[in-house]
Amino acid sequence: MIVDVALGARTYPIHIEAGLLARAGALLAPLVAAKPGGKRLAVVTDRAVAGLHLPALEASLAAEGIAVDAIVLEPGEGAKNWAGLERVCEGLLALGVERRDVVVALGGGVVGDLTGFAASILRRGCGFVQIPTTLLAQVDSSVGGKTAINAAAGKNLIGAFHQPAMVLIDPQVLATLPPRELRAGYAEVVKYGLLGDAGFFDWCEANAAAVLAGDAAAQAEAIAVSCRAKARIVAADERETEDVRALLNLGHTFGHAFEAEAGFSDRLLHGEGVALGMALAFAFSARLGLCPAADAARAQAHLAAHGFTLSPAALGLAAPPARLIAHMMQDKKVSAGRLPFILVRGIGQAFVARDVALAEVEAFLAEVVG
């Protein structure tokens, strides 16, 4: 299946197909320039993914006469920082990657965000291809061109919009993904239902267990629906200026604040922060009388039933509300000193609220954080 991200001259395909990694060489070959030393392709990945899935990609490229130069990072969010960016940029320069070359990001959202950002600045911008290997990256981060690293002041604060040339999704690679990572990725799947597609949320209620148990058909459906939704939203509002793309941030303003409290570590994975943040966004919307309490309860019950911890205290992240708000004020949506929130009128009905008083948020957090 191919889903296009329609961006005029920068339109690119998302190929979704079981077993695609072993056939990726044929799709990548037209993007690799012939050079005096032969055809070579730089691949950025992490140590865990390199051990499990790099050989299949290397073999498929070798069949096309293309050699791989791999840059292998340590796994986890800790790599998505200035040091990681320097490592990738210096590595790509040492390999002689040129402005018209493409670089491949093989891995989860960390590898994708970091490699994409490096590509956006390398020699003032080179191309890149996303080959996402986590559920989160297959349903969300590999599509749409948000690239970034974390800064001391917060999440994804240094980055660029830089679209990939192509996204290659092989759902079979999810077979090796640890259950905790699969669940974290599921948060970004159910997000599409909660923000704008009540019918898909119904589907999630019926099929989440299958997705999390590794059922191939359920995973394929989750990936296809998610990629179609993200492609449509990105095409409508690539740079998040029209209150359309911002809806993809449902749960993220709260979630990123708790990720910051956790020091961007595996104490709280991004998807786990998003699940907590979505539960809080629904609870806060209900408290403000914007959303039926029953919808908030239904969203929270679904997340809890599938193993997400929705209490900051239980996560060991019961930070003072004022500190959480200080994290939130670094959100990239802040404009003229005011922080918009993605709130909901019900399941599938997210909207951008620009008139939320921070005192209300602080009082809410004081209650839920305890």
Ligand X SMILES: O=C(O)C(=O)C[C@@H](O)[C@H](O)[C@H](O)COP(=O)(O)O
Ligand Y SMILES: NC(=O)c1ccc[n+]([C@@H]2O[C@H](COP(=O)([O-])OP(=O)(O)OC[C@H]3O[C@@H](n4cnc5c(N)ncnc54)[C@H](O)[C@@H]3O)[C@@H](O)[C@H]2O)c1
Which residues form the catalytic set?
124, 146, 188, 230, 240, 245, 249, 252, 256, 270
CB of 113 to ligand Y, least distance (A): 5
Rounded to whole angstroms, the Cα distance separating 187 from 181 reads 10
Q: Of the candidates 24, 167, 177, 280, which one interacts with ligand Y according to CB under 6 A?
A: 177
Does residue number 291 form part of the binding site for ligand Y (CB under 6 A)? no
Nearest residue to 280 via CA among 368, 188, 185, 186: 368
Nearest residue to 27 via CA among 37, 36, 16: 16
* Binding mask of the shown chain, residues 239 to 278, with x at each position contacting ligand X by CB under 6 A: -x----x--xx--x--------------------------
Contacted entry of ligand Y, ligand X, none for residue 184, CB cut-off 5 to 8 Å set by kind: ligand Y
**Under 8 Å CB-to-CB from 8, ≥6 apart: which residues?**
none
Q: Is 110 annotated as a binding residue?
A: yes
Q: How far apart are the first and last CA of the chain?
A: 47
Alpha carbon 51 to chain centroid, angstroms = 22
Q: Of the candidates 7, 22, 52, 235, which one interacts with ligand Y according to CB under 6 A?
A: 52
CB of 25 to ligand X, least distance (A): 28
Q: Coil, strand or helix: which one is 142?
A: coil
Does residue number 80 form part of the binding site for ligand Y (CB under 6 A)? yes
* Binding mask of the shown chain, residues 10 to 49, with x at each position contacting ligand Y by CB under 6 A: ------------------------------------x-xx
Query: How many binding residues for ligand X (CB under 6 A)?
Result: 12
Does residue number 188 form part of the binding site for ligand X (CB under 6 A)? yes
Token pair for 109: 């959202």
Interface of this chain with ligand X, residues 314 to 343, rule: CB under 6 A: 332
**Under 8 Å CB-to-CB from 365, ≥6 apart: which residues?**
321, 324, 325
Contacted entry of ligand X, ligand Y, none for residue 87, CB cut-off 5 to 8 Å set by kind: none
Q: Are 3 and 14 in contact (CB under 8 A)?
A: yes
Nearest residue to 252 via CA among 332, 311, 136, 179: 332
Q: Nearest residue by C-beta to ligand Y?
A: 109
Q: Which residue type does 305 have?
A: A
Rounded to whole angstroms, the Cα distance separating 37 from 91 reads 18
| Bridge partners (DSSP) listed for residue 68 | 41
Interface of this chain with ligand X, residues 141 to 180, rule: CB under 6 A: 144, 146, 155-156
Helices (H), 214-357: 216-236, 252-261, 270-287, 293-305, 321-328
Token pair for 174: 């999810």
Q: Of the candidates 58, 113, 238, 272, which one interacts with ligand Y according to CB under 6 A?
A: 113
Nearest residue to 13 via CA among 219, 164, 171, 189: 164
Q: Is 188 annotated as a binding residue?
A: yes
Q: Cβ–Cβ contacts within 10 Å for residue 221, how many?
A: 17
Residue ranges of the annotated binding site for Zn(2+) are 188, 252, 270
- The site for ligand X (CB under 6 A) is made up of 140, 144, 146, 155-156, 188, 240, 245, 248-249, 252, 332
Residue ranges of the annotated binding site are 109-113, 133-134, 146, 155, 188, 252, 270
- The site for ligand Y (CB under 6 A) is made up of 46, 48-49, 52, 75-77, 80, 107-111, 113, 133-134, 136-137, 140-141, 144, 146, 156, 173, 176-177, 181, 184-185, 188, 270-271
